[in-house]
Structure 1
């Protein structure tokens, strides 16, 4: 020690092979060579305070069997080669005050028994990943006074047994979230005198066994909520000389989770006020240091939860009002006066006086010099890109200038757009109201957080409630599903991805609902991480419109894609041969399936199918119906289905049998008779129902008319009435029983005695014209059986037809003998005309016959058919026609009392046209 030895010579040490302690410190040794030491039983080696710059590989190998302590402090070592220390028994290694800047990976591998490594004051700026790997028994690592900037799990890798880590006096600004993953047995951590400004929530995750934590003399101004929550075994926490006054003043319970904390040091943190929740959760706290803080107010019961045995408090800035009246008595009762030195600063007449000597009656609240928050900012939800305004207002009775600040997530916003307004108002004296407004323009997701305003004056600070700002964004699609056409049995793949804030939830619908046939059959697969929707083994029922729905609290949107499933044509039912009896109806079924829907064609006997009036197709040609099947219809019928994917054919054999026990001619007759029997029965039943109902109504009307007065009207054969007088005024009588050929219609509950349209001839009982008719269409709101029921003349208001245009005013008469001479063929022709026009025929007659003799030349035998356009030629072919009235539908009603006074000229609301005598030749 303290010599000028320039080097270590192995030959000189040969005589000391049993030596255990060797101290060569404070010499001039510059290097250690591989041959410097002989094989010795050395346990302690001190080479500190030399000029060593180089350590050769294997320089200490001859000491590996016994060496336990190595000291290389105060040398000039700048680099340590990897794996140079192959010393399995070394427990203590000191490399303090050297010039090591970088520690490479695996530098200390081979020191399996090392428990303590000290590398202070080296200027280390970088620790490579795995720098300390191999130190399987390390317990203490001292890295103070270096230039480390970050704590991360890379250089801490492998230190699973580490219990004490000292990294004070560095330049650490960040603790990575997973820094302590490989050293969770830490009991003591010293991070003092660094440049930490923030403690994130993940700063100490994994340190559940930590007992002592020193964060003093940093620049910490932000402590995340719950940052200490996992430190359940922490006993000492040193936060001296930081900037965390808000943690105490804001009542945010920053120390929740430290139930075993025994000592808390908060000196020098610019604390001005202490709220009653400042130390919530510190049930085991016994020592509290609040020295060097200009504390002005302490809320009552602020220390109630702690079991304090020592309170260090020195302040001369107390606001001695009614809210501090409790403190002197509590200090005395808790026996905590020994380290307490407190005095008043306000009110002025108590300034400088010790708190303990103030009379209890002097603690009064005449005013409120400390700011009081009246308007707190409100929680807001905004869409991305919009503007947001947060407002905060406070009042104070002091003239002291007020200053405001806004914080986001407990961090001060230095570059915020803030407007401040101050005014005086009268409120139990003159008070100062101070309003601050925070403007956030074009908000983005980075603006989300908790906002809070702080109002400060000379007497302290007050904190508003925290208002949360949530920024949402409507969903927008990154990927949209595309229309897909696919064959059955294949895999359908639909993509859909959307972004938004919060991230939207993706859901699927089919045809507007949530019923997925593929889901029921476990053929549907949704891959959230890949934004893909799969349908395996696609079937026809999977075809439809699929909607991708993107939804978040801001809104939602959807995108549609059509899944088209293609399927080759196929028979949905087996084709069945048919056997029918001649004359029956044969139905051949070819139920087709496929997508797109196949087109069907039929052939017979491998040739074209000749379609007659007996062949019908139904259900898109899937049914071939053959009516009245004959022997010629028998044969092979082929159903041909085709679409874009292919063609399919199927055969049906139709066998037509002759009727048993009959020859062919007889069977045809019998079949025809059987075929029309059913139709005839139906027609007879319908006709009977109609006729029966008509007879009932006619009988009822007949008896009702018999009760009415008779209407006497002069009857003349050649009576020419004015055009505006209805022709039915030329006869007298009531409705008689219906004559042959009378047709009756029912419309609802009314008996319709005249059809809705058309012109008709009427026959009287005497063979003359009898145009008197009662029309139920005229009784819209009247009683049919009233004595004053109305009569309806037939007026020409029907739609135009050819006869009306050609013969507007013709009276047609025909000699009876001429008419009777007509053949049945002509009568049949007229009947066919009636059938073609599908118009019912109504016939009327007179109740009374005229006493006048009628000449044979003027016997009127009117045709009981309507004169439609189709009968125009017929009328012209009979020059012998006599005059006969022609009536049309839609007459205006004529009251019965007007008919009774028929001797007076009465003009109907709508005139009835007469037929005049005309020569058609």
Structure 2
């Protein structure tokens, strides 16, 4: 203070009082300090204490006695009633008893991490306003239902990580105010239905590293306000709506490092507000077209480190809000190399990570629909070719590529100038492997006139398989021919609806013609059935890349055959006649009726004719003598048609008699 300014006596008294509280009144061997917001802290960490220090100052509100030798919750005398935070980490406390905690009437935070507590019994806690409770890294194997009852109206955070819980008993978590629950690193294998019912306010549940193998239907039912569910490092095998039932407010779901191999078609029925989904490091091999139905608000999807080789048509089309998609280290090269626009529908996608997917070529439509794409990672792929227009419609700001396999012919002339104009020289390493004159050279060091097309080493498909229609039981042959100027051996594969046909009967032929290698592959489909219907495609590959044929649709038909034919019928005039006719075939046949070879007959003109297609029944109401004749039932589909007749006549004045042409059942 400046010389000549007198110090007010009141200020002198306050400073002396604080100094006395901080120094003179602090019990040895602990230290005392005053923190922000008038918080007084008693620090007794690492003092080898087995009891509380004597005569602590009355004003303390926070106590830390971590890394000591306490065997029970310590007692601080009258000061206990003012303590709001008590930290007893790394001691030897083996049980919680109500009377030990009763003096702490103001306690809000209790940290008992790393002690030896083995169970929580009913009555472990007195009635108190505890908000934060950490019991992690103990030996807890038993939670008695009702053990949290006396703190249920106030508890906001509960941590039970690194304990020995094998099962979670029902009704143990009746904690209506709890917002954060952690049960990581226990031994819980199965979570039963309604386990967490009673936690209406819970926002976050973390259950990583438990070895969970099964989540029963309704396992999380009752968590109406939960926003984050973390289940990493468990043994879950599928995602289904049963265990997701009731999670209508869920925004974040993390299921990485599990054994998930299946996503059920209706899995997300109750989770339509999901924004982040992590399925990385699982056992996914295929994603059906229904895999993400209902996730229109999803913003981040991680599918990295799986074994994905099949993506259903339009599997990403409903993800209109997605901004980040990570598919690193899978086997979806075909989705990029084939011209199918697999990413269409993701209008807001900003970041796409495709590293390590064995991608060799980038086609024109590879990133079709990704108008907002700014970050693209294609690293760790042996990319040989990139179509000049593949990236023209994007807004790329970050482009990662490292390849030493480029086919540097005239089609790659654009790449160097584009990398320079886009300022991607630092993030891209693009080295040529062909032609021999460019081997090992960076595309940025090659002048435009050096990019020439003297040959076409990558296979070109010259004859595509053709769409066909076949009768069931017949044989079908599909042909595909490719050519290349290179001597590099070609290999072929046939795909049906996007999946490789590993056991197909295939014949391959190779020949040279005018300096080119001509390769023919023939797929034989024997005794075709309806399961053979689909879209067939050949893939021809060599050292320089792969090419994909058009998809040829195969349709398998079967001629109609009758299940029911019209029978003899005798009936009085004025009543109702009933004739049956049913047939099967592929596609399903249409049934039509005629009388005496024509469609214009009395019952039709007078609207007394009624056809019931679902019941395979033909009615004539109020039968008249002029209704007598030959009725024909015709079954027709794309494969052909089949007819059956019924002949009717009237013996006398009041009887109508019909005779079936091909009866196959008993009399009417």
TM-score relative to the length of structure 2: 0.81
Q: Choose from 160, 163, 182 the match for 1:94.
A: 182
Q: Choose from 121, 132, 136 the match for 1:48.
A: 136
2:312 maps to which residue?
224
Classify 1:554/1:368 alpha carbon distance in 2 versus 1 (closer, same or farther; 3 Å).
same
Q: Counterparts of 2:168 and 2:608 in 1: how far apart (Å)?
A: 63
2:429 aligns to what SS in structure 1?
strand
Shift of 1:3: 2.0
Higher Cα radius of gyration: 1
* Structure having the larger proportion of residues in helix: 1
Matching of residue 431 in structure 1 with residue 491 in structure 2 = no
Shift of 1:232: 0.9
Q: Choose from 361, 386, 391 the match for 1:303.
A: 391
Matched-pair contact (CA < 8 Å) for 1:319–1:459:
yes
1:166 maps to which residue?
254
2:520 aligns to what SS in structure 1?
strand
Matched-pair contact (CA < 8 Å) for 1:487–1:565:
no
1:126 maps to which residue?
214
1:387 maps to which residue?
475
Q: Counterparts of 2:423 and 2:282 in 1: how far apart (Å)?
A: 37
Listed one character per residue, the Cα deviations across residues 862-919 of structure 1 (whole Å, up to 9, x for unaligned) are: xxxxxxxxxxxxxxxxxxxxxxxxxxxxxxxxxxxxxxxxxxxxxxxxxxxxxxxxxx
Listed one character per residue, the Cα deviations across residues 812-855 of structure 1 (whole Å, up to 9, x for unaligned) are: xxxxxxxxxxxxxxxxxxxxxxxxxxxxxxxxxxxxxxxxxxxx
Matched-pair contact (CA < 8 Å) for 1:542–1:565:
no
Q: Choose from 546, 549, 557 the match for 2:642.
A: 557
Matched-pair contact (CA < 8 Å) for 2:459–2:483:
yes
Q: Counterparts of 1:60 and 1:563 in 2: how far apart (Å)?
A: 85
Moved more, 83-92 or 306-315: 83-92
2:336 aligns to what SS in structure 1?
helix
Matching of residue 486 in structure 1 with residue 609 in structure 2 = no
Matched-pair contact (CA < 8 Å) for 2:572–2:655:
no
Shift of 1:315: 0.6
Classify 1:11/1:308 alpha carbon distance in 2 versus 1 (closer, same or farther; 3 Å).
same
Shift of 1:140: 1.0
Matched-pair contact (CA < 8 Å) for 1:539–1:565:
no
Matching of residue 265 in structure 1 with residue 353 in structure 2 = yes
Matched-pair contact (CA < 8 Å) for 1:482–1:562:
no
Shift of 1:8: 1.6
1:233 maps to which residue?
321
Q: How many pairs are equivalent?
A: 569
Matching of residue 152 in structure 1 with residue 237 in structure 2 = no
1:3 maps to which residue?
91
Q: Counterparts of 1:452 and 1:278 in 2: how far apart (Å)?
A: 18
1:348 maps to which residue?
436
2:490 maps to which residue?
402
2:530 maps to which residue?
445
1:594 maps to which residue?
654
2:165 maps to which residue?
77
Shift of 1:309: 1.0
Q: Choose from 332, 335, 342 the match for 1:244.
A: 332
2:511 aligns to what SS in structure 1?
strand
Q: Counterparts of 1:237 and 1:531 in 2: how far apart (Å)?
A: 52
1:459 maps to which residue?
544
Moved more, 377-386 or 56-65: 56-65
Q: Counterparts of 1:90 and 1:540 in 2: how far apart (Å)?
A: 83
Classify 1:306/1:512 alpha carbon distance in 2 versus 1 (closer, same or farther; 3 Å).
same
Stretches of structure 1 that go unaligned for 5 or more consecutive residues are 570-592, 598-921
Matched-pair contact (CA < 8 Å) for 1:448–1:470:
yes
Stretches of structure 2 that go unaligned for 5 or more consecutive residues are 1-88, 658-668
Q: Choose from 111, 120, 127 the match for 1:32.
A: 120
1:116 maps to which residue?
204
TM-score relative to the length of structure 1: 0.60
Q: How well do the aligned residues superpose, as a CA RMSD in angstroms?
A: 2.1
Listed one character per residue, the Cα deviations across residues 70-104 of structure 1 (whole Å, up to 9, x for unaligned) are: 11111121112223321111111111111111111
Classify 1:351/1:478 alpha carbon distance in 2 versus 1 (closer, same or farther; 3 Å).
same
Listed one character per residue, the Cα deviations across residues 26-52 of structure 1 (whole Å, up to 9, x for unaligned) are: 222222222222222111121211222
Classify 1:160/1:348 alpha carbon distance in 2 versus 1 (closer, same or farther; 3 Å).
same
Listed one character per residue, the Cα deviations across residues 727-751 of structure 1 (whole Å, up to 9, x for unaligned) are: xxxxxxxxxxxxxxxxxxxxxxxxx
Shift of 1:548: 3.3
Matched-pair contact (CA < 8 Å) for 2:570–2:656:
no
Q: Counterparts of 1:533 and 1:51 in 2: how far apart (Å)?
A: 77
Q: Choose from 264, 269, 273 the match for 1:185.
A: 273
Q: Choose from 370, 374, 380 the match for 1:292.
A: 380
1:886 maps to which residue?
none
Classify 1:488/1:160 alpha carbon distance in 2 versus 1 (closer, same or farther; 3 Å).
farther
Matched-pair contact (CA < 8 Å) for 2:483–2:519:
yes
1:446 aligns to what SS in structure 2?
helix
Shift of 1:489: 5.5
Shift of 1:201: 1.2
Matched-pair contact (CA < 8 Å) for 1:538–1:565:
no
Q: Choose from 506, 518, 537 the match for 2:591.
A: 506
1:478 aligns to what SS in structure 2?
strand
Q: Choose from 560, 570, 592 the match for 1:475.
A: 560
Q: Counterparts of 2:208 and 2:595 in 1: how far apart (Å)?
A: 69
Q: Counterparts of 1:5 and 1:537 in 2: how far apart (Å)?
A: 95
1:16 aligns to what SS in structure 2?
coil
Classify 1:17/1:177 alpha carbon distance in 2 versus 1 (closer, same or farther; 3 Å).
same
Shift of 1:313: 0.8
Matched-pair contact (CA < 8 Å) for 1:395–1:432:
yes
Shift of 1:488: 4.8
2:506 aligns to what SS in structure 1?
strand
Q: Choose from 278, 286, 300 the match for 1:212.
A: 300
Shift of 1:545: 4.3
Q: Choose from 278, 297, 308 the match for 2:366.
A: 278
